[in-house]
Chains A and B, each alone.
Chain A
Amino acid sequence: MVNAGRPHAKQGSRRLVSLLAERHGQAIRQTVVRIRNGPLTAGLMSLVIGVAITLPALLVLISANLQTQLGKVEDMAEITAYFFANVPDNRAFEISERLQTQIARAEINYVSAASALAQLSEVTTLQPVLGSLESNPLPAAVIVRPEEPGVATAREIEQTLVSLPEVELVQLDFLWLQRLEAWLDLLDTLSSALSLIVVSGLLLIIGNTVGSSVQSRREEIRIIKQIGGTDAYVRRPFVYFGGFLGAAGGTLACLFTAAIGHQLATAVNALALHYQPAQPVQTVFAVAGLSVGQNLAIILLGASIGGLAAFFSVSRKIATFNP
């Protein structure tokens, strides 16, 4: 008959589940009511949060795309060593054979002076000129294609080739590659720094919004505490509200990023052209959007930041409210 306090206190785990469902269902219902009562505030806040998250998300998107492109280009990187003209053909061939064992994981092709000339005459209209030459002006060469991309690997191979006394010139035109890598590093640093700033900004913005919501519900909180509501009970709907703002902002950020990323594709293409020499490398950048996982991570991150900001903001405020 007399039955105050916790109705489920002495019951089993199935009851615990329904208790938790009731507890959080209730808080979520209240959150929904609050959002419905003030859709403009919630909408504007989500927009602000969305815009804030979009900035680092875009940088991540750009960096990821450039990384992919860089990978493709690096795959095609090759290092060419030209032999002195006086090195006999069989000697040059021998050296390139030896390189096969010296340089691990690379495709090594020997191009004799004769075949170089043959190749050249295939692709030019200067055949009559070439035919009139007394001797072959082209040197023999060895072309190394490292399986492992990256500037460091290429540098290593370059060193090996340069140290050969028979080699006159080593060509590896990867200055632009190094530049791109430096740009990417800069971009990554930038997006880390920006993420940090945005996260702290969000904590402040959401904390402040939820804080003023607490302030305007002072009276309600006082009444709830008077009739036995715990701080946790009071806090819960606010935490969900903060979480909602973060998740909604995150969702908007995903949409913005997808839209802007699409627009950026052309601009990135133009930029890429400046860094690529006349080499017939495939230059069309199909800008890949964020993955499903990345989008989910952004939304979840937004929700956690929102919930966390709300939690601390509410806790700090309600500690000062006396019933």
Chain B
Amino acid sequence: MIKFENVSMRYGPGLEALSKVSFEINRGELVFLTGHSGAGKSTVLRLVLALETCSGGSLMVAGKRIKGLSKSELALHRRQIGAVFQDHQLLFDRSVGDNVALPLQIAEFPHREIKRRVRAALDKVGLLHKETYSPAHLSGGEQQRVGIARAVVNRPRIILADEPTGNLDPELSVDVLTVFEQFSAVGVSILIASHDGVLLSQFGHRTLTLDQGRLSSHG
């Protein structure tokens, strides 16, 4: 589903954020991506989402080469991916429910269907009772879970999560990872960037380790 072949990434002149990274993630697979801060984890996720373009190598997602996609193809590409961002990226001028609804609105689902799915997604992360709240009135952990609900609401083929448990206490972290496992069980490919070694070992999925932009372990 995701295939990196000798992918290099350079943000500007200077050091490479990624150098010749190769790995593959299959359909329904849940993979952890770990490494120190600055190792290049977020960069890998941003490349998959086509928020950046790689400076070398080739990157295939869902059987398509990312390079050379047109503007509208890029939008469709991003719609099949549910992304949880490190800093949540919520819209503070609309309610929690409307934030979660955003991917469905963008994909032009019918009004009623949107409502149903939003409630189901919020229920999954235990925030159904906060549907009408503003994200500004939620704790960091709750905001994180709203971000997760938004990522899964469109039933994507791929889920990317950047430090999704960064703001969560251990108990909630386990809950969130269990939600991800449920999705992988029905065929969704999932890549989770995290430096929470303890948590990762607890789950025991395949782990890719990045070290200064190089893949040091394929798990």
Contacts and interface: CB of A to CB of B under 8 A. Distances in A.
B187 A227 contact: no
A224 interface: yes
Contacts of A228: 75-79, 81, 103, 106-107
A224 B89 CA distance: 10
A4 B79 contact: yes
A158 to B, nearest CB: 70
A71 interface: no
Contacts of B91: 219-220, 223
A7 B80 CA distance: 12
A4 B89 contact: no
Nearest to B76: A5
Contacts of A119: none
Contacts of B51: 226, 322-323
A33 B79 CA distance: 25
Interface in A116-140: none
B72 interface: yes
B106 A19 contact: no
| Category for how many chain A residues contact B | 20 to 34
A23 B155 contact: no
Contacts of A322: 51
Contacts of A227: 78-79, 83, 102-103, 106, 150
Interface stretch (A97-105, A176-184, A229-237, A284-292): A229-237
B203 interface: no
A245 B155 CA distance: 38
Interface string B48-80: 010100000000000000000001100111111
Contacts of A25: 111
Interface residues of B, number: 36
A3 interface: yes
A37 interface: yes
A313 B83 CA distance: 30
B186 A1 contact: yes
Nearest to A7: B109
Contacts of A226: 49, 51, 78, 83, 85, 89
A215 to B, nearest CB: 15
A323 B50 CA distance: 9
B110 A233 contact: no
A160 to B, nearest CB: 72
A6 to B, nearest CB: 6
B156 interface: yes
Contacts of A33: 94
Contacts of A75: none
Contacts of A229: 75, 106
A10 B1 CA distance: 24
Given A2-B157, A4-B155, A228-B79, A22 B72 contact: no
Q: Which of A23, A25, A33, A224 has the most CB of B within 10 A?
A: A224
A26 interface: yes
Contacts of A231: 71
Contacts of A6: 76, 107-108
Nearest to A25: B111
B79 A26 contact: no
A19 B110 CA distance: 7
Interface string A203-231: 00000000000000001100111111111
Interface string B171-194: 000000000000000111000000
B217 interface: no
B154 interface: yes
A18 interface: yes
Q: Which of B75, B85, B110, B111 has the most CB of A within 10 A?
A: B75
B80 A5 contact: yes
Interface of A: 1-8, 18-19, 22-23, 25-26, 33, 37, 219-220, 223-231, 233, 322-323
Top 4 A-B residue pairs of the complex, sorted by shortest distance between their CB atoms: A228-B79, A228-B78, A4-B80, A230-B75
Given A5-B76, A7-B108, A223-B90, 5 more contacts: A1-B155, A7-B113, A22-B108, A37-B93, A228-B81
21 contacts: A1-B155, A1-B186, A2-B155, A4-B107, A4-B154, A4-B156, A5-B80, A6-B76, A6-B107, A6-B108, A8-B108, A18-B110, A19-B108, A219-B91, A223-B89, A224-B106, A227-B102, A227-B106, A228-B76, A229-B75, A323-B51
